[in-house]
Structure 1
């Protein structure tokens, strides 16, 4: 989103010059105008707990809660609730200075005590709080506007972890600090936040209505008066709603990929997003027992899956063939990693070498594949339907086990009750946040999207640990290049496709979230051409 430099400087006059990078540059358009309602189409949103694992909850979290910083269009942190910050030369201290006069939705001031409280909650209850803030030993509060993160060792992901409220929502201690179990707090039914929009009406499963917060700490924003988040799970209803212009903003992952090209109205725009989330669709292996405990078996499965066919034909070009454990758009991606070559002869040879010959019935062994059957259909359903006959060609009988929803799938994963599983792990830009959690030995936990595969390699751990402590980008990249090479060789999972999710939106909408954290970031800079649609 292009915010003119005069406005940006006015908003952050107290920030050091080094912090005054460009605000999100999503389009060059007329001056912002206030007013109007935005209808965002979403799949099911199960709760309003800002730490809920379900990605759809993040859309609400990004509007209701502010983070300390945010990302610009080049994926760099810029001021947000924190007007400025400093990092000590030894990397052991991060000092954030809050916007003066910032208030929560109930009118109470946002203070450094709230920041300290929020960090503590995230460390204890966030599914990868340890990856983000593990070395933070304390948050000092020398005054109401200053929060100082103290670290036991340098940890490069700290700053990036402050750029999204799905990571670190700044929450009122006086509301959420009333009981020990954060996740069961009744305040989640009607959250009190710090972001640009206030929850005004909720009917989970149907809609969530958010209204403009008039005392938002960024002057004159947000521009929209209201956001209506409409819950729609039926594909036909999504298509019809878009054709009738009932929805103003829809993530392309809510539709089948082949349906996207049908929206050719001049009143709609379809653009591929550049996302800091960086997600891969994977087939995760349980590395502990059976055939999948053999590296050559895992590699063979990689060579038996034609990822180019999946991306170009099954997904109509809306995904990219997976090449390795880091998404292609990640700044630390190793260009030398080309993915597993589709080669059935090589797959058969590896399976023979692993000691699993073809039996009289043409089958070497059987593997079960679990997947969520009612979400991300092109990823979680189409791929398993393709994988079953593909692996049959090399003597692996695949038994498909559809799960009725994400909750049922998560139970199987957290109990390690699977052989193969379709998954959608997000990288979250910094390898120390989103990537390492699925591979390091000390994160083998009974939690979905931890290292549920049971993979453990001490050299991989060592490289990841060195990477998060190294402040120099080039040195970090060299370490992560080695990680990617090792993981590609070990194949704890197969990286099938790399997501490049399209966004479908009303052509009159200015500054749709095409970069940064996309729909998980604040909508405070979006507005309608003419003030309403």
Structure 2
């Protein structure tokens, strides 16, 4: 679904392609990330950090262009959809080689999609609609569905819990060899020090112009090193001094400080997305809907946003999951359920629901400093409402591991960019941490995902949003802009929610 034209013109998250006609070739860049990724297998994790690193190593059949339309990557073209939306014929590009020198065929794609539907939360989401997958020949894959499933190509394009293509003989779980088709390949990984990627000389780029995550991918750099820098203040100082070519996730209050730096400049993604509190609906205190409602009733979203982002230049109070600039925008379910800030009423509601004083375990990390600040404010409101709060502050890699175990947490804090397809929202998958799986969810989500008509899907998304507010698998806090920093010498890097460094070069 395309965003409205006015939004694309003024505030698209992925800018147009850099038009440097003579980019310098060579050099190594260091990229400061918020921490150590829990894995380098993008199927096995929904963590953005995993996708940021591994999108340079692995590729999918499709990706997204600068306007968030699905565009071919390893596939030759968009799928041919027949049988009333239940058959997807995917023609593959030929001559594509993996990092080990072997040639990609439909056998590799078929094995990879099988692994994806078994292992990845996004793949499991699609698996319920897949009747069969087969390879009619070496250059073609045929996916047959039990019913139409509109988000399929978007799921195949997403770099989060990604449907990467890897050699058929390297499908181990967990991944043992990190062999993809991407423009860069793994050279060395030293835990908590760096992940070093080197140019893959056998890479075959698509023709034409670069176009968001799609189009041509140029390999100007010799190497890219991703360096974990967990402390946000350290990232700020490193950005100001120019220690790194790119620094991800900078606290917004440092924006003016970055502007005054001669070595780096701020990168503003506006609007970026929204922070969310995800509830554990499977076990523990928050598995009871009335308790989730009481927790939500207690929280003041504006106070949390102000603590996290400071100025309204960087946040907006909005309960809709898409801003007005998106065609997906709807206010369904928002009125009377968002930004209530009523701890006294919440205390009464919790008592009526039988709350017995058990701790509400809030899982968060300081590597995303705004997560932690929101958690602090939330904890105070919950205490005012009579809840016992157990704040569990861990590193981001540990958080992504713990959230997979329903016995360990009640609320975890994360965030999401505004996604081009609402079905990509993790909580809509019953296998995503939170494990929202109710008849009402199914009754709202299934018609939405099976409808092909874009206008009808917008209406059906409003129904899904209303059920989210009715059942509270997660709560949206508001909208926010994100800040990163890049060296004044780094060229060819466009603002993007998952920054990528093919097309990047260092000015001599």
Q: Please, what TM-score do these two structures have when normalized by structure 1?
A: 0.79
SS in structure 2 of the partner of residue 371 of structure 1: strand
1:128 aligns with 2:113: no
The within-5 A match list for 1:195-234 is 195-218=182-205, 221-234=218-231
Deviation at 1:385, TM superposition (A): 1.6
Residue matched to 1:263:
258
2:144 to 150, 156, 160: 150
Paired residues for 1:470-481 under 5 Å: 470-481=451-462
CA distance in 2, matches of 1:70, 1:302: 36
SS, match of residue 254 in structure 2: helix
- The alpha carbon displacement at 1:469 in A equals 0.7
| CA pair 451-399 structure 1, distance change in 2 beyond 3 A | closer
The structural deviation recorded for 1:518 is 2.5
Report the CA distance between 1:467 and its aligned residue.
0.9
Where 1:124 maps in the other structure, the secondary structure is helix
Report if aligned partners of 2:307, 2:373 keep a CA contact under 8 Å in 1.
no
* Residues 75 and 90, structure 2, Cα contact 8 Å, conserved in 1: yes
When structure 1 is superposed on structure 2, of 62-71 and 212-221 the one drifting more is 212-221
Which residues in structure 2 correspond to 1:60-139 (within 5 Å)?
A: 60-89=53-82, 90-139=84-133
Q: Equivalents in 2 of 1:364, 1:56: separation in Å? A: 37
Deviation string, structure 1 residues 505-525 (Cα, Å, up to 9, x no partner):
12343332424x522xx5322
Question: How far, CA to CA, are the matches of 2:441 and 2:174 in structure 1?
Answer: 36
CA RMSD of aligned residues (A): 3.3
- Aligned equivalent of 2:329, options 333, 343, 350: 333
Task: Identify the residue that residue 466 of structure 2 maps to in structure 1.
Answer: 485
Structure 2 residue 417 is the aligned partner of structure 1 residue 396: no
Relative to structure 1, the CA distance from residue 274 to residue 98 in structure 2 (aligned partners, 3 Å threshold; closer, same or farther) is farther
- Sort the Cα spacing of 1:214 and 1:328 in 2 relative to 1 into closer, same or farther, 3 A: farther
Q: Distance in 2 between matches of 1:509 and 1:524?
A: 12
Structure 2 CA distance for aligned equivalents of residues 355 and 245 of structure 1: 54
Is residue 271–residue 503 contact of structure 1 (8 Å, CA) maintained in 2?
A: yes
1:30, distance to aligned residue in structure 2 (A): 2.9
Q: 1:58 maps to what in 2?
A: 51
CA contact (8 A) 1:47 1:204 kept: no
Matched-pair contact (CA < 8 Å) for 1:26–1:513:
yes
Any unmatched runs of 5+ in structure 1? 1-23
Contact 1:432 1:468 in 2 (8 A): yes
Aligned length: 475
Q: CA deviation digits over 1:288-324, x for unaligned, max 9?
A: 67687353x5334334322122223432243443515
Q: Report the counterpart of residue 37 of structure 2 in structure 1.
A: 45
Whole-angstrom distance in 2 between the partners of 1:244 and 1:353 = 51
Once the 2 structures are TM-superposed, how far is the Cα of residue 463 of structure 1 from its aligned partner? 1.5
CA deviations over 1:415-466 (Å, ceiling 9, x no partner): 433673123264753233334535xxxx2x6xxx4334xx554233111011
State the Cα deviation string for residues 155-193 of structure 1 (Å, max 9, x = none): 11111122244411110113x14xxxx323431xxx221
* 8 Å CA contact 2:38, 2:398 repeated in 1: no
| Among candidates 234, 243, 246, match of residue 243 of structure 2 | 246
Match of 1:26 in 2: 16
**Using the alignment, how far apart are the partners of 1:431 and 1:300 within structure 2?**
26
SS of 1:494's partner is strand
Deviation (angstroms), 1:274: 6.0
Q: Residue 371 of structure 1: which of 363, 368, 375 is its match?
A: 363
Q: Given that residues 319 and 338 in structure 2 are in contact (C-alpha distance below 8 angstroms), is that contact kept between their aligned partners in structure 1?
A: no
SS in 2 for 1:489: helix
Q: Could you tell me which residue of structure 1 aligns to residue 210 of structure 2?
A: none
After TM superposition, the structure 1 = structure 2 runs for residues 504-523 of structure 1, keeping only pairs within 5 Å, are 504-515=485-496, 518-519=498-499, 523=501
Give the corresponding residue for 2:10: none
Change in Cα spacing, 1:353 to 1:524, as seen in structure 2 (3 Å) is: closer
Measure the CA separation in 1 of the matches of 2:117 and 2:18.
39
> Contact 2:195/2:227 (CA < 8 Å) preserved in 1?
yes
SS of equivalent to 1:156: coil
Q: How much does 1:205 deviate?
A: 1.6
Between 1:467-476 and 1:142-151, the stretch displaced more is: 142-151
Describe the SS at the equivalent of 1:467: helix
CA distance 1:291–1:312, change in 2 (3 Å): closer
Deviation at 1:410, TM superposition (A): 5.4
- The answer to whether the 8 A contact 1:69-1:79 is kept is yes
Aligned match of 1:3:
none
The match for 1:192 is 179
TM-score using structure 2 length:
0.82
Cα distance between partner residues in 2 of 1:26 and 1:414: 37
Taking the TM superposition and a 5 Å limit, the aligned residue runs for 1:269-418 are 269-273=265-269, 278=273, 280-284=275-279, 286=281, 293=288, 295=290, 297-317=291-311, 318-321=314-317, 323-324=319-320, 331-336=327-332, 338=334, 340-343=337-340, 348-349=344-345, 351-352=347-348, 355-356=351-352, 365=357, 367-379=359-371, 381-393=372-384, 395-406=385-396, 409=399, 413-417=403-407
2:319–2:331: 8 Å Cα contact kept in structure 1? no
Q: Is the 8 A contact 1:331 1:429 kept in 2?
A: no
Q: Which residue of 2 aligns with 1:14?
A: none
- State yes or no: 1:451 paired with 2:434: yes
Compared CA separation, residues 275 and 186, structure 1 to 2 (3 A): farther
1:230-274 Cα deviation digits (max 9, x unpaired):
22223343233212212111222xx43323432122542323326
Q: Which runs of 5+ in 2 are unaligned?
A: 1-13, 208-216
